[in-house]
Structure 1
Amino acid sequence: MTLRNILLGATMLCAATTPAIAFAQDTAEAPASDTDYGNDIIVTATKRSQTLQDTPIAVSVTSAADIQNAQIRDLIDLQSAVPSLRVSQLQSSANTNFIIRGFGNGANNPGIEPSVGVFIDGVYRSRSAAQIGDLPNVERIEVLRGPQSTLFGKNASAGVISIVTQKPQYEFGGSVEASYGNYDAFVIKGDITGPISDKIAFSLGGNYNRRDGYARDVNLDTDVNDRNRWGVRGQLLFEPTDALTIRLIGDYDKIDENCCIAGNVIAGPTVAITNALAGGPSVDANNPFSYRVYNNFLSSNLIKNYGGSGQIDYDLGNMSLTSITAYREVRSNTNQDSDFTSADLIGQKSDDTAINTFTQELRLASDFDGPINFLIGGYYFNEKIKQHSQIYFGDDFRAYGNALIQAASGGALSVPVLEGTLGTLEGNPAKYVGTFFRAGDGMDEYYGMKNTAWSIFGTVDFDVTDRLTLTLGGNYTKDKKRFTTDVTSTDVFSGINLDAPAYAPFRN
């Protein structure tokens, strides 16, 4: 499958007004560049260091001070500071949905890229499992609303979340932050930075975030929905000449949590069946907000996210050349009691996902004194995804299915009756005896996808007057996806073709 996409856009910026919402008050604590802008708010949404008022993009900026004051731990917390952003935690720690201005898509299918792109220090994070970890030493977070392909190369149709961390410094310094809260919540972050030589500086940061579960699994007699994650991040900054800067970044983070519970909203007729199978309450049928659940095994989330990037900036005088190369891997292993009852209906619902991503961006930006400035760039994206999903019947599913069939047929049918009837119609009454809805039967699904894409993008700014700027942008993208599937079902009943002529008497 190949997709070609051409986008053109134009914006006009009037200096008397600004289409941006700013939450930063003072950038002195976290300067964005070597240029002194005083107390103006500096952003790099247009790939240049500009004051917020001169940026012709709808952008919200959250500074390091705002992040500290609002106790923003990860991107899920960011929605408390950005009104147009909504972040939803879905059924596992690896599934987080980002929505800007009401637009976004789910994160349940790893084959679908999110419409809200997340960039960390210019590197695209293609899936939510690679986006939600804690980050030490964040300088600012920019949330850009609307399509951004003319500036970022990788098309993001709903918007972009751009996270910028602090560069290594040539003076020794560091910080440590620790907090303790209810449910034995313990968070610690720390970083250290300093010079290795007069042209090389380093920084090293780490974080640890844990909390006991705030929900209770009554059947298993344990707390659930806990938090347990940590990460490390190191940087090297090389400045061999005044014109050349090289920044290397490597990081590793890990999540190992029990998440996520589901409240029972409607107590339908199946609750009586699951209660009988469980030998007691199988759900909290009367209060979906009680944070009391009944499962027969704990859900698990083990996520590893790691990678490295290199950014090269070369000052050509009135132009600058930037190259960003990155390689990342995500490993996500999840399993969940997906019937959300203490009856053993779904014995396993697991997803093991491996994502390898390589990206390369190259762009040239001008800084002329005249009325015209431009940015032109190229972007290459290569990603490989492998997923193995399994869903198997538990020990109670056969009895559960039998109860449903009896209720639907008024007692005329049951699982044994179905097995015998269908076998008889095929000429062998014993063919299906004891095979429908057996524990351990189900589906094995293997998926693979290779995605390659490249794009050419750019913008041109024309200063019509001192107070009016016209911006033209364009993007050409060619996107190619190849995918494979291998699905095996061992569920005997689902493999029967009831439209076959032999089953005509049964259908009638």
Structure 2
Amino acid sequence: MNTLPFSRLNTPSLARPISIAVAIALGVTAYPALSQSSGEPPSSVVDGNTPNKNAGLETITVTAQKRVQNLQEVPVAVTAFTGDEMAESVVKDVYDLRVNVPALGAFQSQSATNSSFSIRGIGTSSQNFGLESSVGLYVDGVYRPRQNSLINNLVDIAAVEVLRGPQGTLFGKNTASGAVLVRSQAPTHDNDGFIEATIGNYGLLNIAAAKSFSAIEDVLAFRVTGFNSERDGIVDDVYLGDNVMNDRNRWGARIQALYTPSDDISLRIIADKGKIDEICCAALTQLSNAKINPEGMPGTDLLLSGPLFGATLFDERSLTARVTAVSRLPISKMDDEGISAELNWQLNEELTLVSVSAYRAFDSIDIIDTDFSDADLFYTTNDAEQSSFSQELRVDYTSENMNAIVGLYYFEQDIDLRYIIDTQSQFGTFFDVAILPQLLASPLAPVLNGLNQLSELSGGTIAPLAQGASADFRFPHLAQQEHQSYALFGQIDYRVSPSLTVTAGLRYTDEEKDLKTTFEELDPNGNQIDYANFSEAGTALGNIGAALNSGQSPSAADLAAIAPLQRTGWGFPFIGSTTSPRPDILPPTLEDDQITGTLKLSYQPSNDSLYYASYSTGYKSGGTNTDRLAFISSLPADDPRQLNPVFDAEKSHAFELGLKRDINDYDFRINAALHYTTIEDFQANTYTGNGFNLQNAGDIETYGTEIEITWLPADNWQINFAYAYTKAEFDSFERGNCWVAYTWHTGIQDPGQENPSDPNPYCDRSGDRIGSEPEHYAMINVKRDIVLGDGIYSYLQVDYSYTGDMYLDSSNDPYKFQEDYTLMNVRFFINFEEYDTDLIIWGRNVLDEDYINGSDFDVPIQEGKLMAYASEPVTFGLTVKKRF
């Protein structure tokens, strides 16, 4: 047995004492300012060197309703950040925003190109290409159909807005729970630009730069942006190297042109490209199955760590030590590119024509050691290509008492996915020691033993039972989708009185999808495996035995019936759906049309107060599960007991009450919302250990409250606080996933089991919590301006966040429960006015909190074992930004 030396697992973090000392010294916590301008000193300075109190609460402008508005006048729950705020907070990517936005979930799972986003408990994993997002992602007004395309570094960004609640009217389908809007910096005629460098621990080196060029004064300007990001990994492999997994290796570039031939016309063209090529992502042991379970079954860790395999054995300590061992490092590559054109034409004082056209392409390839050990069992290759074209055309109308938007939208995309499972050199041995003994103790034993007995009876003329599984078998499936969508939408804001505004909007969407998923099971020669029918084989064995005893030759039909058992590979169906045959999914064209809309009432008694009530709807498309599902071969494909691979559209209905209030005498701002949302035909996607159980769960409901506060209590102080309570649970979900790990270890059956007397893979999850969603989330930051000298503006800020307990998937397996945890970030910012240069000393997760990064999973074909994805440890560094 190979075991990891305990000294590796018990080595204390050198950063922890330092982190605790810093925390005690500071004694406060913090969260990035929502509106403080970055890189600039406060608006007034006393005696030339003492920073004065911020000049009141800043006005924050957003585009949540597709026009520029003051955040405090928008009847939508929005959290907004400027690009400078994110740069000062050392926000690298969209995952870092999660810490700063109440009710937003964002985490990375099995690869750098797999991500999950949720808002108010409603979200979608990107690990199945048949799914579309519940959170709409938009960059410069262009919809990103694959969530993964937004995970690259956020560089040269003007603003990010997170809209909570359904946005089905203005932003269309796939915004059932909200939307994230990213706006990049536009070209200017000031020839402005910057260069920025960041260094940090784990070999972090980020370089970014941007520059605007005025080609024709006030008519034509260009902007070029580029970045490169490198960092060592944060996870060790005991044999393949230290700090090799979860590294950073990504770059991106953006070229823009802004053409303004007159005051009434502007045309902005953006071309961008980004690449990721990383060793990601490390799955670490959360729960080992190195034991004999109550049913007398040995866990696979016992088998794999034995002399037959010599694999390295880990327990839960590897999760905090961030160490593992795999037979091949995970490869994760992404290539994202596109071009867009936005035309704004002011037709007259009231009407503006807006056109946004875009083409995007997103290719990714992930190669993962799917047994997550250094045994040579099997690995998967996930190769996907996606391309899309979108066109939005709208007219914006503005008058004294009314604002209106009417528009048309067209979207088309093609998706091609090739997903392949390959068995490795030790897979046959694994089958012999882990699977075959169970089969020889099952009702199949007479057939398996009977063939060997018959071989002996024939003197070897009839071949014996072949090996059930071995190396170099392939299990590919190919998923293809062609998709077209059309929409007509409109929204009107009508001011009934100086203080009362009614908003009404509708959107009609019509879409069509042609989908096809084909499955193959191939032997080492590339031939389709011919699986045995055990009922027919049993009958044939009897007939052959009788023929031999009577001195007759067996019939060709009987010999053909047992032939599959005489060829290597007959045992793959008994390993699980991962390697089981299943029929192709060839549904007819899926056609759907939906009407979504919104109705809002806004009451603004003064410029400092807004109260609103809203009802909004949203939806996202249906489709097919592109994964290899469990299939009951003894039943017809259309039998209702089969899990249907085709799922229907998901529809959301949300009610919200909100207030936005500025108390200027106290420099105090509070924005709050109460919300209640129901989802019909929720598209649940939960990993079973052998594939994703993707289906319409039934209905879910979420409700809760969100509060965001900004307070300037005294000169040179700023405090921000945010809190979200989100209750998200299944109202009905009759065929959800069952407990796996807990039942294996304890022998206790899931109380939701659909058929307790004869257990099957499905359990009633009605009333259970949605996975990966905490009920409570809070964050606070405290910022203190510090005097260093003339022409130097500086501050110290500490961010602190609390994440409540949660189940890590929707099976609510008791072993998949994560306790609450807290995170602390610290930064010291200095701006040298004379040189227009920023210096930021920063630390993230300075208390070195250990937690699971969003999800865990049952390990394929290793029942009772749980693995989870590593969170980032203490990171710290120095950022220098020079503007010119």
Alpha-carbon distance in 2 for matches of 1:503, 1:212: 60
**In the alignment, is residue 179 of structure 1 matched against residue 198 of structure 2?**
yes
Aligned to 1:394: 424
1:296-344 deviation digits (Å, cap 9, x = unpaired): 0111011100010000000122111100000010110110001001101
Deviation larger for 213-222 or 456-465: 213-222
**SS in structure 2 of the partner of residue 263 of structure 1:** strand
**Kindly, what percent of the aligned residue pairs are identical?**
32
Is this contact kept in 2: 1:406–1:412, CA < 8 A?
Answer: no
* 2:234 equivalent among 214, 229, 238: 214
Amino acid across the alignment from 1:349: T
Cα 1:243–1:295 shift into 2, 3 Å: same
Amino acid across the alignment from 1:329: A
Aligned to 1:10: none
**SS in structure 1 of the partner of residue 87 of structure 2:** helix
Aligned to 1:463: 495
Cα 1:505–1:424 shift into 2, 3 Å: closer
Is this contact kept in 1: 2:138–2:179, CA < 8 A?
Answer: yes
Deviation larger for 77-86 or 491-500: 491-500
Cα 1:313–1:173 shift into 2, 3 Å: same
Aligned to 1:23: 34
Cα drift, residue 502 of structure 1: 3.1
**After superposition, where does 1:64-83 map in structure 2 within 5 Å?**
64-83=83-102
Cα 1:502–1:45 shift into 2, 3 Å: same
Alpha-carbon distance in 1 for matches of 2:441, 2:121: 48
Extract unaligned runs of 5+ from structure 1: 1-20, 30-37
In terms of Rg, which structure is larger? Answer: 2
**In the alignment, is residue 202 of structure 1 matched against residue 213 of structure 2?**
no
**SS in structure 2 of the partner of residue 108 of structure 1:** coil
* 1:302 equivalent among 317, 321, 333: 333
Deviation larger for 278-287 or 171-180: 278-287
Q: So what's the TM-score if we normalise by structure 2? A: 0.51
**SS in structure 2 of the partner of residue 401 of structure 1:** helix
Aligned to 1:500: 536
Aligned to 1:487: 519
Cα drift, residue 490 of structure 1: 2.2
Cα 1:414–1:475 shift into 2, 3 Å: closer
**SS in structure 1 of the partner of residue 86 of structure 2:** helix
**SS in structure 1 of the partner of residue 261 of structure 2:** coil
* 1:433 equivalent among 466, 484, 504: 466
Aligned to 1:292: 323
Cα drift, residue 485 of structure 1: 2.0
Cα 1:26–1:495 shift into 2, 3 Å: same
Cα drift, residue 278 of structure 1: 6.7
Cα 1:407–1:242 shift into 2, 3 Å: same
Aligned to 2:563: none
Cα 1:315–1:297 shift into 2, 3 Å: same
**After superposition, where does 1:123-142 map in structure 2 within 5 Å?**
123-142=142-161
Deviation larger for 77-86 or 180-189: 77-86
**SS in structure 2 of the partner of residue 398 of structure 1:** helix
1:175-197 deviation digits (Å, cap 9, x = unpaired): 01111111101111110012010
Is this contact kept in 2: 1:79–1:86, CA < 8 A?
Answer: yes
Cα 1:466–1:399 shift into 2, 3 Å: same
1:164-209 deviation digits (Å, cap 9, x = unpaired): 1111000111101111111101111110012010200010000111
Cα 1:446–1:279 shift into 2, 3 Å: closer
1:215-240 deviation digits (Å, cap 9, x = unpaired): 11113235211110000001000001
Is this contact kept in 2: 1:255–1:301, CA < 8 A?
Answer: yes
Alpha-carbon distance in 2 for matches of 1:449, 1:423: 50
Cα drift, residue 289 of structure 1: 2.5
Is this contact kept in 2: 1:154–1:379, CA < 8 A?
Answer: no
**SS in structure 2 of the partner of residue 78 of structure 1:** helix
**SS in structure 2 of the partner of residue 67 of structure 1:** helix
Aligned to 1:383: 413
**In the alignment, is residue 474 of structure 1 matched against residue 494 of structure 2?**
no
Amino acid across the alignment from 1:103: I
Is this contact kept in 2: 1:406–1:413, CA < 8 A?
Answer: no
**SS in structure 2 of the partner of residue 25 of structure 1:** coil
**SS in structure 2 of the partner of residue 134 of structure 1:** coil
Aligned to 2:59: 40
**After superposition, where does 1:261-280 map in structure 2 within 5 Å?**
261-268=282-289, 269-276=299-306, 280=310
Is this contact kept in 2: 1:91–1:261, CA < 8 A?
Answer: yes
Alpha-carbon distance in 2 for matches of 1:170, 1:325: 24
Alpha-carbon distance in 2 for matches of 1:445, 1:282: 31
1:5-30 deviation digits (Å, cap 9, x = unpaired): xxxxxxxxxxxxxxxx982235998x
Aligned to 1:116: 135
**SS in structure 1 of the partner of residue 509 of structure 2:** strand
Alpha-carbon distance in 2 for matches of 1:262, 1:233: 33
Is this contact kept in 2: 1:380–1:453, CA < 8 A?
Answer: yes
**SS in structure 1 of the partner of residue 94 of structure 2:** coil
Aligned to 1:448: 480
Is this contact kept in 1: 2:454–2:541, CA < 8 A?
Answer: no
Alpha-carbon distance in 2 for matches of 1:25, 1:74: 20
Is this contact kept in 2: 1:147–1:155, CA < 8 A?
Answer: no
Is this contact kept in 2: 1:454–1:477, CA < 8 A?
Answer: yes
How many aligned residue pairs are there? 473
Alpha-carbon distance in 2 for matches of 1:189, 1:391: 39
* 1:364 equivalent among 388, 395, 402: 395
**SS in structure 2 of the partner of residue 405 of structure 1:** helix
Amino acid across the alignment from 1:297: R
**In the alignment, is residue 340 of structure 1 matched against residue 351 of structure 2?**
no
**SS in structure 1 of the partner of residue 381 of structure 2:** strand
Alpha-carbon distance in 2 for matches of 1:260, 1:68: 25
Is this contact kept in 1: 2:207–2:229, CA < 8 A?
Answer: yes
Deviation larger for 495-504 or 374-383: 495-504
Alpha-carbon distance in 1 for matches of 2:449, 2:417: 34
Alpha-carbon distance in 1 for matches of 2:204, 2:444: 50
Cα drift, residue 74 of structure 1: 0.9
Cα drift, residue 442 of structure 1: 2.8
Cα 1:334–1:241 shift into 2, 3 Å: same
**SS in structure 1 of the partner of residue 93 of structure 2:** coil
Cα drift, residue 459 of structure 1: 0.7
Amino acid across the alignment from 2:396: A
Alpha-carbon distance in 2 for matches of 1:423, 1:448: 47
Alpha-carbon distance in 2 for matches of 1:433, 1:202: 68
Alpha-carbon distance in 2 for matches of 1:332, 1:179: 27
Alpha-carbon distance in 2 for matches of 1:352, 1:193: 37
Alpha-carbon distance in 2 for matches of 1:414, 1:179: 62
Is this contact kept in 2: 1:390–1:443, CA < 8 A?
Answer: yes
Cα drift, residue 473 of structure 1: 1.1
1:353-384 deviation digits (Å, cap 9, x = unpaired): 00011000111111111x22211111111000
Cα 1:420–1:350 shift into 2, 3 Å: farther
Cα drift, residue 409 of structure 1: 6.1
Aligned to 1:12: none
Cα 1:431–1:249 shift into 2, 3 Å: farther
Amino acid across the alignment from 1:486: T
Alpha-carbon distance in 1 for matches of 2:144, 2:431: 42
* 1:260 equivalent among 266, 269, 281: 281
Cα drift, residue 496 of structure 1: 2.4
